A and B are shown apart, each in its own frame.
Chain A
């Protein structure tokens, strides 16, 4: 998935700088990453580690500090560098992972929609 222009995206995205926790299969927090942006279909996280496409993980993140976190299964779409507009990549652009949400419940979907449209 390319995080390109609004016209080419499947769903609009919004900047989101929050901790995204990877939980294990026992719902314990293990790793966390920092997100850069979110849409109703997924989010992008800064990551120095490479995860294979289609790797699934348990995610936990909040849209705002202090809010009840959203918990959802995610699937790696692509490991890439985030583009910041057209042209060359910035020299210090960080590596990252695009993650698609799987089975987001309607309430949490609505919360993300409201966040993006706010």
Chain B
């Protein structure tokens, strides 16, 4: 069972992604957070996350987005995870995310395509 952490301020997106996960080619278990600042509240013990899927909105409200990246790198369960950032088509980008190992995908997705993207990474 692969573990995915999805970070987005949109609870609606959490629900939609949960509905999509069964399409992924690999069995996955998903946890959701609303913001990167919540990562520090994840228990430090347990199975590591294989994939971190973050919406750009989980970084954009932070004064310093790189601090959010730092939280991900510090936490033992997230630091080794592959990372994908979901962003709108017209998006200026956030400095530092490429260097932090994020790959980027533009929304919106067909459900099958998003499931495929998740399956590719894990």
Contact = CB atoms under 8 A, between A and B. Distances in A.
A28 B111 contact: no
A14 to B, nearest CB: 23
Contacts of B11: 25
A79 to B, nearest CB: 10
Interface residues on B, range: 20 to 34
B114 interface: yes
B57 A48 contact: no
Contacts of B88: 28-29
Interface stretch (A5-13, A30-38, A63-71, A100-108): A30-38
Contact of A51 (B19, B23, B109, B110): B19
B92 interface: no
A58 B11 CA distance: 13
B19 A49 contact: yes
B121 interface: no
A26 B34 CA distance: 13
A31 to B, nearest CB: 5
Contacts of B57: 26, 28
Nearest to B56: A28
B13 interface: yes
